[in-house]
């Protein structure tokens, strides 16, 4: 994987200024910014296909938006167990609070202890699932980017974890470098609040390139490094 290229390839595109400007502006608009999500997925696909200028044109806005919408639904489904658990916890705490209203002080103390234990158990499970989901969701997104909007990929947990297992070292590198790019993008706030959306869009492009390379490497189509 060419990590350095992932940070600089945007500048190799003759129209990079306009593409980044459009991406940054769209990033600010709720719902419409799903197109940025889809744009990143299409960029990953172009990288995987070996396109020398992987950033697509914004003229295909409808395709970018629909890809982003499908991916958003898929991510929502992916995190649905954590969301449902949190809702269950809220209902349980609410019910116990109502029950505590008609009890004595000693009973309230007992119910308070039960609420604390139940909350701790739920938060541990929610936190663990959210952590695993956050680490593994890039695998689902990468596989989805290479498909024709196949939503079933998001609940193909065996396939997603199999992809991670078969490409573990490159996957970890892509995760870490993507986090670094996101951290660096945060410094865009120095350019004022507006500036950060453009650096965040750049971070999206870095991540898109990394996972496109990851897919190419997983298929054995990455070019061999040049010999000295």
Q: Residue 226 domain-assigned?
A: no
Q: Residue 223 domain-assigned?
A: no
pLDDT at residue 185, as a whole number: 74
Residue 67: partners with Cβ closer than 8 Å, 6 or more residues away:
37, 38, 39, 41, 42, 149
- Please count the structural domains in the chain: 1
Structure tokens at 195: 């500036």
Residues of the chain with pLDDT under 50: 189-190, 192, 223-228
pTM: 0.84
Domain containing 86: what range? 3-218
Q: Residue 224 domain-assigned?
A: no
pLDDT at residue 137, as a whole number: 95
**pLDDT 10s digits, 36-68:** 999 999 999 999 999 989 999 999 999 999 999
pLDDT at residue 148, as a whole number: 86
pLDDT at residue 139, as a whole number: 95
pLDDT at residue 170, as a whole number: 93
pLDDT at residue 104, as a whole number: 53
Q: Residue 121 domain-assigned?
A: yes
Distance CA 19, CA 181 (A): 19
pLDDT at residue 120, as a whole number: 85
């Amino acid at each position: 994987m060419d990590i350095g290229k992932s940070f600089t390839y945007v500048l190799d595109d003759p129209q990079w200024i306009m593409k980044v400007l459009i991406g940054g502006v769209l990033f600010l608009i709720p719902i419409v910014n799903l197109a940025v999500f889809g744009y990143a997925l299409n960029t990953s696909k172009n990288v995987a296909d070996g396109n020398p200028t992987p950033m697509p044109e914004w003229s295909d806005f409808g395709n970018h938006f629909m890809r982003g919408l499908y991916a958003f639904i898929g991510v929502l489904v992916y995190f649905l167990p954590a969301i449902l658990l949190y809702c269950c916890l809220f209902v349980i705490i609410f019910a116990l609070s109502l029950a505590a209203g008609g009890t004595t002080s000693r009973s309230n103390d007992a119910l308070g202890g039960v609420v604390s234990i139940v909350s701790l158990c739920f938060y541990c499970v929610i936190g663990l699932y959210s952590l695993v989901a956050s680490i593994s969701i890039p695998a689902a997104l990468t596989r989805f980017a290479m498909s024709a909007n196949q939503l079933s990929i998001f609940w193909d947990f065996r396939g997603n974890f199999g992809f991670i297992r078969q490409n573990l070292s490159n996957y970890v590198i892509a995760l870490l470098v993507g986090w670094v790019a996101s951290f660096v993008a945060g410094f865009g706030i120095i350019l004022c609040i507006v500036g950060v959306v453009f650096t965040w869009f750049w971070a999206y492009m870095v991540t898109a390139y990394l996972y496109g390379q990851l897919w190419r490497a997983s298929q054995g189509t990455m070019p061999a490094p040049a010999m000295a």
